[in-house]
Amino acid sequence: MDEPASLVARFGPDKPLVMDCGARLAPWQIAYQTYGELNAARSNAVLVCHALTGDQHVANPHPVTGKPGWWETMVGPGRPIDTNRFFVICSNVVGGCMGTTGPASLNPATGKPWGLDFPVVTIRDMVRAQAMLLDHLGIETLFCVVGGSMGGMQVLQWAASYPERVFAAIPIATAAIHSAQNIAFHEVGRQAVMADPDWRNGRYLEEGVKPAKGLAVARMGAHITYLSEKALHRKFGRRLQDRDAPTFSFDADFQVESYLRYQGEAFVERFDANSYLYVTRAMDYFDLAADHGGVLANAFRGTKTRFCVASFTSDWLFPTSGSRAIVHALNAAGASVSFVEIESDKGHDAFLLDEPELFATTGGFLAAAARARGL
Amino acid sequence: MDATTAFAEQQPVRPDHRLVAEMVEPGARVLDVGCGDGALLALLERERRVDGRGIEISREGVSQCVARGLSVIQGDADTDLADYPDDSFDYVILSQTIQATRQPRQVLEHMLRIGRRAIVSFPNFGHWRIRLELGLKGRMPVTEKLPYSWYDTPNIHFCTIRDFVALCDEVGAQMERAVALNAGGEPVRVNVPWWVWNLFGESGVFLLRRR
């Protein structure tokens, strides 16, 4: 965990990560990947922020699963985020489990995994860590920060916390506040993890076990929220799995059951259960307006960053109304903002899939921003 | 060469766009409601150096605008103008769009609230050719500029120049400038009575402010 198959920036006791909960995390490290080349003016850096269970492997095969990078449709040579033009950075979030310090890392005070002694992480903590990584890399300003879902929250936080460091921002399928419904879904997932007897109050790593069932159930539940009724119906309908008739049992008769079980099992191979608790919690706590006197527009007052906001028609986890609230606030703050709602029946996951309109809009926005930036 | 220049070379500037651009002071903050593919907004940014924003209902239009480097939001004039604060723009423009709104009066009132000035251009339904179609043929006019049949037209609230002048009175808008363009895109001669404009103007362009 602490020696990941990617680049790592390590920060000693002199450079603690100061966290919202009051903790000063040190030593700590952040794992990241880069693609393309930083230009001489150091002005072409694009930070990609990953979503809840994503990681830094945005455009290379995943070292654990061997699957393609999670956003290869968007990031790569000739893609909308063109690695021939831009220097792309993607780092694993604090609290994650792909090499950045998180609950599975060793606590230097005890020599054992942190477990639940790891301080609770916020979206702002994640962004602070990324800012320290950029300082480490000698990159003063980002040409663009882009991400979907929890990645989009980081994009908004970047624009609010470091407006002078962000030239352009693309928050996709996200919101400036995590809704009660979404907190509720997260709580179900966490309770599933904690109900697994192998969770052992978070100390499962020391005891050589894994709350695989609980985490798999959490993933199954969450996975439904990433899709849409239409997408599920199109993909599976009521079709049966490898059988001609129901078995009158609780076996996975339906394809959709089999699919969800597979998703759950695959997920536990690559994700740490405690990380899941921490990262979902970070999203729950996200309320950008609350940090600015209850007025979201105040988060963006005087910003020079140009924004391109996108949502999807069938996304019920982060519906268009959440994106419109962001746009409304940006307008009230006099910011430069574009917004498009993309027609798709694929639900929240649409932002990760082959959506030509998303590529056309983000590609066009980036090309125009690059001209304005002189890239 | 920037984005707007690149596009400018591809298409000639429409006469009504040219006229609108002349009405806008350089460097102003402008909201173009129903900005389409962004041709007018790009012209304003290029020639008047405005700080421009747009609202466009069609996704394709928004994508084209964004690719031009314009700041455009997908939205609906009938519902979204209410979200804009008072006096947030120097000019709010409604170019060839008012006839497609559900609540033209409400839209105009919002424009006058949001902007210090409003610019409205629209096809004049009192033009002699339209009167001819309706009066002699007895059919809803279908012309080169208004190519839709009555049953599939997005233009649900046509008006004549005189109708629009009456609406301006009703909502308390003061006309600072009014121009009628003929079919060739030339301004109809000034110092003629309204009925001449209403007959020979193919479109009207009005610069308004709150009274």
Residue B114 domain flag: yes
B52 to chain A: nearest residue by CA? A336
- What average pLDDT score do residues B59-75 get? 93
Burial class for A39, CB neighbours closer than 10 Å (0-12, 13-18, 19+)? middle
Lowest mean pLDDT among A344-353, B3-12, B152-161, B177-186: B3-12
Element (H, E) at A29: strand A28-35
User: Nearest 5 degrees, angle CA A369-CA A297-CA B62?
Assistant: 40
Confirm or reject contact between B31 and chain A (CB < 8 A).
no
A311 to chain B: nearest residue by CA? B74
| 3-state SS assignment for residue A49 | strand
Confirm or reject contact between B69 and chain A (CB < 8 A).
yes
**For position B5, what pLDDT does the model report?**
45
Confirm or reject contact between B74 and chain A (CB < 8 A).
yes
> Contacts of residue B62 in chain A, CB cutoff 8 Å?
338-340, 361
Q: How far is CA B199 from the centre of its chain?
A: 19
Confirm or reject contact between A329 and chain B (CB < 8 A).
no
Residue B62 domain flag: yes
pLDDT in tens, A155-169: 999 999 999 999 999
Closest CA to A330 of A306, A364, A312, A362: A306
Closest CA to A30 of A55, A65, A54, A52: A55
Burial class for B82, CB neighbours closer than 10 Å (0-12, 13-18, 19+)? exposed
Look up A311 and say whether it is catalytic. Answer: no
Kindly determine whether residue B73 and residue A371, on different chains, have CB atoms separated by under 8 Å: no
Confirm or reject contact between A367 and chain B (CB < 8 A).
yes
**For position A2, what pLDDT does the model report?**
76
Residue B135 domain flag: no
**For position A248, what pLDDT does the model report?**
96
Instruction: Give the integer Cα–Cα distance in Å for B50 and B71.
Output: 12
Q: How far is CA B41 from the centre of its chain?
A: 12
Instruction: Read off the pLDDT band of B10 (50, 70, 90).
Output: low
Kindly determine whether residue B72 and residue A338, on different chains, have CB atoms separated by under 8 Å: yes
Domain region containing B23: 3-125+157-210
Instruction: Give the integer Cα–Cα distance in Å for A35 and A58.
Output: 9
- Maximum alpha-carbon separation in chain B: 52
Instruction: Read off the pLDDT band of A278 (50, 70, 90).
Output: very high
pLDDT in tens, A166-189: 999 999 999 999 999 999 999 999
Token code pair at residue A188:
């179900």
Which of A304, A326, A357, A361 should one mutate to test binding to chain B, selecting the residue with the greatest count of B CBs within 10 A?
A361
Kindly determine whether residue A368 and residue B66, on different chains, have CB atoms separated by under 8 Å: yes
Instruction: Give the integer Cα–Cα distance in Å for B178 and A176.
Output: 44
Quick count: other Cβ atoms within 10 Å of Cβ A13?
10
Which of B63, B65, B83, B88 should one mutate to test binding to chain A, selecting the residue with the greatest count of A CBs within 10 A?
B63
Q: What is the DSSP letter of A169?
A: E
Of B62, B65, B69, the CB nearest to A371: B69
- What average pLDDT score do residues A201-230 get? 97
The hierarchical CATH code for the domain A182-281 is 1.10.1740.110
Token code pair at residue A357:
């309109």
Please say whether the beta carbons of A13 and A109 come within 8 A: no
Instruction: Give the integer Cα–Cα distance in Å for A220 and A224.
Output: 7
Look up A287 and say whether it is catalytic. Answer: no
A358 to chain B: nearest residue by CA? B63
Kindly determine whether residue B63 and residue A334, on different chains, have CB atoms separated by under 8 Å: no
Instruction: Give the integer Cα–Cα distance in Å for A82 and A293.
Output: 38
Quick count: other Cβ atoms within 10 Å of Cβ A251?
12
Residue B131 domain flag: no
Please say whether the beta carbons of A196 and A309 come within 8 A: no
Residue B19 domain flag: yes
Instruction: Give the integer Cα–Cα distance in Å for A121 and A124.
Output: 8
Q: How far is B36 from chain A (nearest CA, A)?
A: 14
Query: What residues contact residue B12 under an 8 Å CB cut-off, 6+ apart?
Result: none
- What average pLDDT score do residues B52-68 get? 94
Strands B173-181 and B203-210: antiparallel
**For position B9, what pLDDT does the model report?**
45
| 3-state SS assignment for residue A319 | coil
Q: Among residues A149, A161, A228, A314, which one is catalytic?
A: A149
The domain segmentation of chain A, as residue ranges, is 7-177+287-373, 182-281
Average pLDDT, rounded, for chain B:
91
Give the alpha-carbon dihedral of B54, A309, A121, A299, to 10 degrees.
0
- Amino acid code (one letter) for A224: I
Q: Is the dihedral of CA B22, B27, B33, B35 positive or negative?
A: positive
Instruction: Give the integer Cα–Cα distance in Å for A342 and A360.
Output: 11
Instruction: Read off the pLDDT band of A1 (50, 70, 90).
Output: low
**For position A341, what pLDDT does the model report?**
95
Kindly determine whether residue A364 and residue B66, on different chains, have CB atoms separated by under 8 Å: yes
A360 to chain B: nearest residue by CA? B63
Q: Is A10 known to sit in a ligand binding site?
A: no
Kindly determine whether residue B66 and residue A361, on different chains, have CB atoms separated by under 8 Å: yes
Residue B144 domain flag: no
Bridge partners, A312 (sequence order): A342
Confirm or reject contact between A21 and chain B (CB < 8 A).
no
> Contacts of residue B85 in chain A, CB cutoff 8 Å?
332
Instruction: Give the integer Cα–Cα distance in Å for A327 and A339.
Output: 7
Q: What are phi and psi of A46, to 5 degrees?
A: -120, 125
Per-residue pLDDT at B74 exceeds 80:
yes
| Prediction ipTM score | 0.85
pLDDT in tens, A350-360: 999 999 999 99
Q: What is the DSSP letter of B134?
A: I
Lowest mean pLDDT among A146-150, B160-164, B189-193: B189-193
**For position A111, what pLDDT does the model report?**
96
Please say whether the beta carbons of A124 and A159 come within 8 A: no
Interface of A with B in 335-354 (CB under 8 A): 336-343
Residue B137 domain flag: no
Token code pair at residue B80:
């979204």
pLDDT in tens, A4-56: 889 999 999 999 999 999 999 999 999 999 999 999 999 999 999 999 999 99
Residue B145 domain flag: no
- What average pLDDT score do residues B77-83 get? 92
For chain B, how many structural domains are there in total? 1
Kindly determine whether residue A357 and residue B63, on different chains, have CB atoms separated by under 8 Å: yes
Quick count: other Cβ atoms within 10 Å of Cβ B194?
15
CATH 3.40.50.1820 matches A7-177+287-373: yes
Per-residue pLDDT at B190 exceeds 90:
no
Q: Which residue has the tokens 């690149």?
A: B6
CATH (domain of B35): 3.40.50.150
Which phi-psi region, left, alpha or beta, contains residue B198 (left: φ > 0; alpha: ψ -120 to 50)? alpha
Q: What is A97-158 written as a DSSP string?
A: SSSSS-TTSEETTTTEE-GGGSPPP-HHHHHHHHHHHHHHHT---EEEEEEETHHHHHHHHH
Look up A149 and say whether it is catalytic. Answer: yes
Per-residue pLDDT at B6 exceeds 70:
no
Q: Is A203 known to sit in a ligand binding site?
A: no
Q: Is the dihedral of CA A253, A258, A259, A260 positive or negative?
A: positive
> Contacts of residue A364 in chain B, CB cutoff 8 Å?
63-64, 66-68
Closest CA to A367 of A44, A11, A151: A44
DSSP H helical ranges for A227-355: 229-235, 255-270, 273-284, 320-332
Instruction: Read off the pLDDT band of B193 (50, 70, 90).
Output: confident
